[in-house]
Structure 1
Amino acid sequence: MQNPDLVRRFPRQLPLVLAISAALALVACGGSNSDSTSNSAQADVALVVPSAPADLGFVDTAPVLASVPAFVDNVASNQRGDARYATLDTNAGVRVLAGFKTIWQPLTDIVDAGVSAPAVGNFPAVIPSVWTGLPNDGTAGGTILNSAVHNANIQYVVTATMARTPAQELAAYLDDRRGKGYSVSDGMGPLTTAWRAAAQQTTSITAIAADATTVLYNDTGNNIGVGGSANAAFGSVVDFISAMSNNGSTEPAKRFYKYARPYRWSSSVVVVPALVPAKSNTPPTDGGFTSGHSAEATRDTVAMAYAVPERFQEILTRGLELGENRILAGMHSPLDVISGRMQGQAVVAANLVDPANATKKAAAVTQAHATLMAQTSTSSDTFNAFAHSGTVATDRFADYATNKANYLRRMTYSFAPIAATTTPAVVPKGAEALLETRLPYLSDVQRRVVLKTTAIASGYPVMDDAEGWGRLNLFAAADGYGVFTGNVVVVMDASQGGFSAMDSWRNDISGAGKLLKQGSGTLKLTGNNSWTGGTEVNAGVLEADSVSALGKGDVYVSGGTLVSNATGATTVSGKYTQLANTTLELDLGSGQQGRLTATGVITIAGGTLRIKFQNGYKPAVGDTLNIITAASFKGKFTSIVVDGFSATPIYTDTGLQLRLGA
């Protein structure tokens, strides 16, 4: 029978009000976990459930700039010795680095250093440049357009090589001499031994030779390993890594930009002594911009990160480390290395989106996991944990904060911006493929938005290319969105395993958007988040692993589970609402760890409260725990489950306490 007072006061909400009133009546008659003490203010007031945070009516996008020729569509033009691809306009490998032309104007705008090519149709013949490769020969071989950046670029190498430690010297030597694929595979950390064994990688370079005068490029190893049918267990992985370097030469850019090595710009650059015999005696064909070692290391590590995304950030950090070792060796400048990163990322993306590689990349991911799991006695449930089981003593990439700082530092090498820093980021066509295996539960559109919202600021030398390759921060992109704009719907299918079953977003997420968590998987948020459009949990698990994980808006649990696992009290900066057939899990520790607090009204329209204990925290029978606080608390849970205890809830106007029993 309907209550006339309810009909009059809540005509629109009547069905929900009646259902909740009936549920609460049943709760009041429950057993020991449902016995409750509540204030009189709640007793006779029908519960009105707030609406979910508003649907914003749109989703964010990162459209491809139609006005810019896409690198991924033109990668085959990255050639030298072909008149059709001899200019910045016709060669994608040259064009992607065009930002360098605000720093340095080469002697000619042609891929012509030590290069000749016959005319083809309307493309004139290429005549070898007269560039000597020696900037101090009286001609400079080009024009310095930004002396501050150029001087800083060379001085960086002078300072770095003069302060180089013995350990850095050895690392620089090894990364110069060894195959780059072998060198960077130690970025696999606990998986390194298994990776090298599976790939059948070898090297003959293990230390600096005693007689530096006989040092040559003489690594008789096999670089990335053995591919094809000769390596049944891992050949598909090796073949995939090799394929990701197709059309990846840095020679066209070197022969176009004609920018000398740093030790040719300044005699104060201290080249690693063991590498002095390896210095080229043909400067006109040995330009420094761009770094071939850095580009190859980037290609290898991005491909490896695609195959084994569990080590995504660590292996990418190793690739940039090899680039820095080229500076410490005295062989390259920061701008040489930055450009190598840019070109390497673009080349891998182009090969990933090539339909000819679709089967190859899928086979590599499958084979890499099957073989590495077998070699490490792990499963899909334990593989990720094993991949991160090292310590800083055994895995120099084990510390996340250090990796993050090093990656960001190596993106810019402390150059000051030379242009506006607020230009909106654009995302190159095809770049979303770089995140396919790291963020498999997102769509291509969403991956592009992740790249857009995690890109570094504009304005840095060389990095403001028209497509956006220079500003991509793949390390940050692996940690999810940087900004929520519009509706952000995350659907994770736990049955797919891997990151689709569980993932963590560690960025500090801002913006005015709304997060909607759907699907059966678990998404953990660990950042200092400030988005304002609200959060809705509709299915699966959303876990708050920092006190500000849930941003600055309302939180609405309409399905699934919300977990509070922060080191302090997880803060809801607005209203918190929980419907029936849902779960709130509080993982309590000492102090305020795992508690929940809201600056607005908490409305509990049923559902389960689950209490767990962690980090050795264990209360005693008879203790009363303050677990939830709010500006105002309304409603009750249908059931309360506490690990190891029975519990009597004590509801108040501003929160919930639990009195623990045996």
Structure 2
Amino acid sequence: MHHLTARPLILALSIAAALSACGGSSSDQPLVIPAAPADQGAADVAPVPSATAFVDTIATNQRGDARYATLATNAGVRVLGGFLAIWKPLTEIVDAGQTAAAVDGFPAVVASTWSGVPGDGTPDGTVLNAAVHQANIDYVINATRNRTAAQAVQAYLDDRRGKGYSVSDGMGPLTAAWRAAAQQTTSITEVAADATTKLYNDSGNNTGVGGAANASFGSVVDLVNLVGNNASTEPAKRFYKYARPYRWSSSVIVLPALVPAKSGTPATDGGFTSGHSAEAERDAVAMAYAVPERYQEMLSRGLELGESRILAGMHSPLDVISGRILGLASAAANLADPANAARKAAAVAQAHSTLLAATGTTDATFAAYAQSGTTANDRFADYATNKANFLRRSTYGFAPIAATTALASVPKGAEVLLETRLPYLDAAQRRVVLKTTALASGYPVMDDPEGWGRLNLFAAADGYGAFSGNVAITMDAAKGGFHAADRWRNDIGGAGKLVKQGTGTLKLAGANSWTGGTELAAGTLQGDSVAAFGLGDVYNSGGTLVANAPTALRLAGKYTQLSGGTTLELDLGGAAAGSAGTLTVAGTATIAGGTLRIKFANGYKPKAGEVLTVIMAGNLQGKFNTITVDGYSNVTPNYGATTLTLTLG
């Protein structure tokens, strides 16, 4: 980390240097250089919860084994235990249509008498929260009454096709290359005319061809299959014994083309948890891990498939939410297993080498290509829409049933989910990102003891939600990918301090409000929003600070730029003060040297003779050693008491 002394420094600026470099005044003036923003102490941490870890016990997610038949002994049942505040199953055993012999002191499992049909006069579970239960079923009634023709087609395809094939279209511009490389196939390409009376099953290969049989992409397919190990939803279904929505209410309109898919054995066909939703979540997470350049889009596609289950009338929101939770925990457990480290690395490397070759891109251009779709050819091309849908599909509008302000816990091993998306952060930092971007507490089912239900990977992909203590970010551009450049879009709060180190570029685009200040020690730090740098001082001691905001970049405190390897780059979109790319400093702007670089953006090109107001400050002192303006070799600066203007020759 770059350290500076706490006391101000005194620098005598040379008249000759100022005149030759910047056309400045002809008098020496001692310059008082402020200290860097104060040290804010140790960085935040996200301790591992004391609850039994899912990643350590995923192998217990089994049925037909008396050792794993209870909430306490089955990881897949336990992670969804929040449902017990809504619904008490007839028996709290994995026993719906299931038996198991006694073993190791665990009593034998006897098949439950649960029929799977509410209100048929046979014993059933007990609704403990009538408001949540009714809202759960009413949501499906309304969704199925109002589904569009396009939603009906999507719901059918998402039901009948392999989930791996379905969610791979979240790859957008990479979809064709992904499917070709994976050798994915499906036989379900449309809704057949007789689908209302005939059940069509997918004879394709779902995730594709793995292993040695697919030399160029087999490791990637293997990774997608890997996250399904010990990930079944059957133990949870047979424990909670909560019926599908169309069995709760005849007002639920099952998609006519899916009527042939309805099970004739309700006692083994519970709704909670949705298997399709869980599998879609797992597959989407694995694909996002392999190709993090489509991270948020893949996560969005996973939740979209879950919503299709509601629109089909096959599942309720709580069924789908629980599928997301179990799918996410299962994917993390398999990815976090040290035995799978080499397989993960091979999959990521193979995904990129093959897709780069297929798309004619390079490491430097691949990310842009992956994001090059439009809403006309990539339904996940719009970030704002993805974000809104992800949040909506995370809670489905349920009212909280407990306090919404409980501190977030981060499950053991969950940091692996950001391993390729935020590769320049260490494991402890990724845990803090998950902690500071978590969903609010209090929603039905989502408050599990470990914290799986509250993880918001969409937000986590946009970096920290808050800074506490000193947050040092080191990016190595030589490693390429997100190591070289990344963009955080969260609104970052907190009292911490950001320290940017390393040669990479970090772009900040949120309405940020952290108060501990910012120090740029190396590399590039770019402000893409008006309040990109929060409410503290900004101290450029060794890198390039870029103003690329839609209007003036506003610094709420002081700005200090030292000499020697420092640059302030303003990407101007207009000549007037306050225009895009200009810099406004509420406090004192202290310029002890370095470079001012002016570029022009958004088609703006000033004429010779124009005067550009580039910096406005509460007080301006000092001068740059060098000023460069794209397209102009003759530039005259005018340093005023509060402004810097440039006259173009």
Place the TM-score, normalised by the shorter chain, in its bin: over 0.9
Quick one: which of 592, 595, 598 aligns to 1:605? 592
- Structure 1 residue 158 corresponds to structure 2 residue 141: yes
**What's the offset of the Cα at 1:26?**
3.5
- Structure 1 residue 408 corresponds to structure 2 residue 391: yes
Name the counterpart of 1:638: 625
Quick one: which of 643, 648, 651 aligns to 2:639? 651
Name the counterpart of 2:40: 56
* AA of the residue aligned to 2:415: E
SS of structure 2 residue aligned to 1:48: strand
- Structure 1 residue 36 corresponds to structure 2 residue 19: no
- Structure 1 residue 446 corresponds to structure 2 residue 429: yes
> Which digits, 9 at most, give the CA deviation of each residue in 1:311-361, with x for residues without a partner?
000011000000000000000000000000000010011001112211100
Provide the C-alpha distance between the structure 1 equivalents of 2:129 and 2:122, rounded to a whole number of angstroms. 17
- 1:215/1:275 contact within 8 Å kept: no
SS of structure 1 residue aligned to 2:599: strand
- 1:427/1:469 contact within 8 Å kept: yes
SS of structure 1 residue aligned to 2:585: strand
Name the counterpart of 2:30: 46
* AA of the residue aligned to 1:659: T
- 1:233/1:367 contact within 8 Å kept: yes
SS of structure 1 residue aligned to 2:31: coil
Name the counterpart of 2:469: 486
**TM-score scaled to structure 2, two decimals?**
0.97
Closer, same or farther: CA 254–183 of 1 in aligned 2, 3 Å = same
**What's the offset of the Cα at 1:136?**
1.6
Instruction: Within 5 Å, give how 1:230-629 maps onto structure 2.
Output: 230-581=213-564, 582-590=566-574, 591=576, 592-629=579-616
SS of structure 2 residue aligned to 1:381: coil
**What's the offset of the Cα at 1:473?**
0.3
* AA of the residue aligned to 1:660: L
**What's the offset of the Cα at 1:510?**
0.5
SS of structure 2 residue aligned to 1:201: coil
* AA of the residue aligned to 1:631: G
- Structure 1 residue 96 corresponds to structure 2 residue 79: yes
SS of structure 2 residue aligned to 1:137: coil
Closer, same or farther: CA 653–349 of 1 in aligned 2, 3 Å = same
**What's the offset of the Cα at 1:269?**
0.4
> Which digits, 9 at most, give the CA deviation of each residue in 1:237-282, with x for residues without a partner?
0011101110000000000000000000000000010110110000
Provide the C-alpha distance between the structure 1 equivalents of 2:6 and 2:415, rounded to a whole number of angstroms. 45
Provide the C-alpha distance between the structure 2 equivalents of 1:89 and 1:475, rounded to a whole number of angstroms. 31
SS of structure 1 residue aligned to 2:137: helix
SS of structure 1 residue aligned to 2:14: helix
**What's the offset of the Cα at 1:13?**
6.8
Provide the C-alpha distance between the structure 2 equivalents of 1:600 and 1:29, rounded to a whole number of angstroms. 26
Name the counterpart of 2:116: 133
Provide the C-alpha distance between the structure 2 equivalents of 1:220 and 1:232, rounded to a whole number of angstroms. 23
Provide the C-alpha distance between the structure 1 equivalents of 2:583 and 2:136, rounded to a whole number of angstroms. 51
**What's the offset of the Cα at 1:215?**
2.8
Provide the C-alpha distance between the structure 2 equivalents of 1:182 and 1:656, rounded to a whole number of angstroms. 57
Higher alpha-carbon deviation: 293-302 or 614-623: 614-623
* AA of the residue aligned to 1:658: L
- 1:320/1:407 contact within 8 Å kept: yes
Name the counterpart of 1:196: 179
**What's the offset of the Cα at 1:620?**
1.0
**What's the offset of the Cα at 1:27?**
1.9
Quick one: which of 205, 212, 215 aligns to 1:222? 205
**What's the offset of the Cα at 1:37?**
5.0
Higher alpha-carbon deviation: 215-224 or 90-99: 215-224
- 1:177/1:219 contact within 8 Å kept: yes
Provide the C-alpha distance between the structure 1 equivalents of 2:340 and 2:42, rounded to a whole number of angstroms. 34
Name the counterpart of 1:6: none
Closer, same or farther: CA 234–629 of 1 in aligned 2, 3 Å = same
Provide the C-alpha distance between the structure 1 equivalents of 2:46 and 2:176, rounded to a whole number of angstroms. 40
The size of the alignment, in residue pairs, is: 640
> Which digits, 9 at most, give the CA deviation of each residue in 1:217-256, with x for residues without a partner?
5111000000111111100100111011100000000000
Provide the C-alpha distance between the structure 2 equivalents of 1:482 and 1:57, rounded to a whole number of angstroms. 18
- 1:562/1:584 contact within 8 Å kept: yes
- 2:274/2:320 contact within 8 Å kept: yes
Name the counterpart of 2:70: 87
- 1:107/1:143 contact within 8 Å kept: yes
Provide the C-alpha distance between the structure 1 equivalents of 2:567 and 2:641, rounded to a whole number of angstroms. 21
Provide the C-alpha distance between the structure 2 equivalents of 1:57 and 1:551, rounded to a whole number of angstroms. 18
**What's the offset of the Cα at 1:64?**
0.4
**What's the offset of the Cα at 1:121?**
1.7
Flag as ranges the 4+ runs of structure 1 deviating above 3 A: 11-14
SS of structure 2 residue aligned to 1:621: coil
Closer, same or farther: CA 128–356 of 1 in aligned 2, 3 Å = same
**What's the offset of the Cα at 1:93?**
0.2
* AA of the residue aligned to 2:464: Y
Quick one: which of 16, 19, 27 aligns to 2:17? 27
Provide the C-alpha distance between the structure 2 equivalents of 1:577 and 1:441, rounded to a whole number of angstroms. 27
Higher alpha-carbon deviation: 161-170 or 215-224: 215-224
- Structure 1 residue 105 corresponds to structure 2 residue 93: no
**What's the offset of the Cα at 1:557?**
0.2
- 1:24/1:606 contact within 8 Å kept: no
Name the counterpart of 1:4: none
> Which digits, 9 at most, give the CA deviation of each residue in 1:175-215, with x for residues without a partner?
00000000011000000000000000000001111113543
- 1:173/1:274 contact within 8 Å kept: yes
> Which digits, 9 at most, give the CA deviation of each residue in 1:564-600, with x for residues without a partner?
0001110110110000020000000025100001110
Closer, same or farther: CA 140–547 of 1 in aligned 2, 3 Å = farther
**What's the offset of the Cα at 1:539?**
0.2
* AA of the residue aligned to 1:198: A
**What's the offset of the Cα at 1:390?**
0.7
Provide the C-alpha distance between the structure 2 equivalents of 1:355 and 1:401, rounded to a whole number of angstroms. 36
Provide the C-alpha distance between the structure 2 equivalents of 1:287 and 1:13, rounded to a whole number of angstroms. 68
- 1:24/1:636 contact within 8 Å kept: no
* AA of the residue aligned to 2:261: A
Provide the C-alpha distance between the structure 1 equivalents of 2:284 and 2:563, rounded to a whole number of angstroms. 47
- 2:597/2:627 contact within 8 Å kept: yes
* AA of the residue aligned to 2:269: D
- 2:18/2:625 contact within 8 Å kept: no
Provide the C-alpha distance between the structure 1 equivalents of 2:584 and 2:14, rounded to a whole number of angstroms. 23
Which stretches in structure 2 are left out of the alignment for 5+ residues? Answer: none
Provide the C-alpha distance between the structure 2 equivalents of 1:54 and 1:484, rounded to a whole number of angstroms. 14
**What's the offset of the Cα at 1:536?**
0.5
Closer, same or farther: CA 169–12 of 1 in aligned 2, 3 Å = closer
